[in-house]
Amino acid sequence: MPDFTNRDPRTPEFWDQRFDGAFTPWDRGGVPAQLAAWLASAPAGAALIPGCGSGYELQAFCAAGWNATAIDFSPSAVVAAQRAVGPWRARVVEADFFAYLPAQPLDLIYERAFLCAMPRDMWPRVVQRWAQLLPEDGLLLGYFFFDNNPKGPPFGAERERLLQLMSAHFDLEQEQPVGDSIAVFQGKERWMAWRRKKAL
Ligand SMILES: C[S@@+](CC[C@H](N)C(=O)[O-])C[C@H]1O[C@@H](n2cnc3c(N)ncnc32)[C@H](O)[C@@H]1O
């Protein structure tokens, strides 16, 4: 691994250094199979892709008719995504997930390697923000990483901890193993769909 000066994944500079140094082991270089299959059969709506990195999935959402926006707080990630998504580059926005306000109400948030990019003490804030951004019955859909290595990123979840964190706001509606993981996530990620509960 290159010798990076920034070791704090809470900062955009951490991620800038890794994109600028072409050290992106989480980057799968395309759209994962379960998302592609899901998009082929689901009705379109408004979607947000937080922490999009290279953002290949934005293209898949837009091509399937979704009004999708991809955000990232790292300027270098935004440049990478704008390059990767071609005609949809205007849908990539530089923004911090915790401050971003969508231009229209959302139906769906897509998750991949965003929760696990953040130290575990930030997770309650992430779940809270997902819940704030989604309406009742909205979907949080994508890939969740399970591991107990204290070091990261990626920071993996313990299953019970994730279920406990999510249970105040979401019901787990679908879960499957993943057959096309890249090396860092191999055998440790699950495809999951979480339905936003009625707000209390
Ligand atoms: C491990 S990468 C994953 C990128 C992409 N989701 C993927 O699957 O390839 C994590 C990304 O989240 C972004 N990120 C981390 N914290 C963020 C925040 N608070 N707001 C927006 N983006 C954030 C980073 O800049 C980085 O691009």
pLDDT of residue 3: 84
Phi-psi region of 4 (alpha: psi -120 to 50; beta: other; left: phi over 0): beta
Please state the rounded mean pLDDT for residues 46-73.
98
Pocket test for ligand 1, best of 11, 23, 72, 178 (most atoms within 8 A of CB): 72
pLDDT of residue 13: 97
In the CATH scheme, what is the code of domain 27-69+97-196?
A: 3.40.50.150
Task: Write out pLDDT tens, residues 125-162.
Answer: 999 999 999 999 999 999 999 999 999 999 999 999 99
Per-residue pLDDT band at 200 (split at 50, 70, 90): low
Task: Write out pLDDT tens, residues 15-57.
Answer: 999 999 999 999 999 999 999 999 999 999 999 999 999 999 9
Cβ(97) to ligand 1 under 6 A?
yes
Pocket test for ligand 1, best of 15, 17, 35, 127 (most atoms within 8 A of CB): 15
Q: Which residue ranges make up each domain of the chain?
A: 27-69+97-196
Average pLDDT, the chain: 97
H or E element that contains 47: strand 46-50
Residues 6+ positions from 95 with CB-CB distance below 8 Å: 71, 72, 73
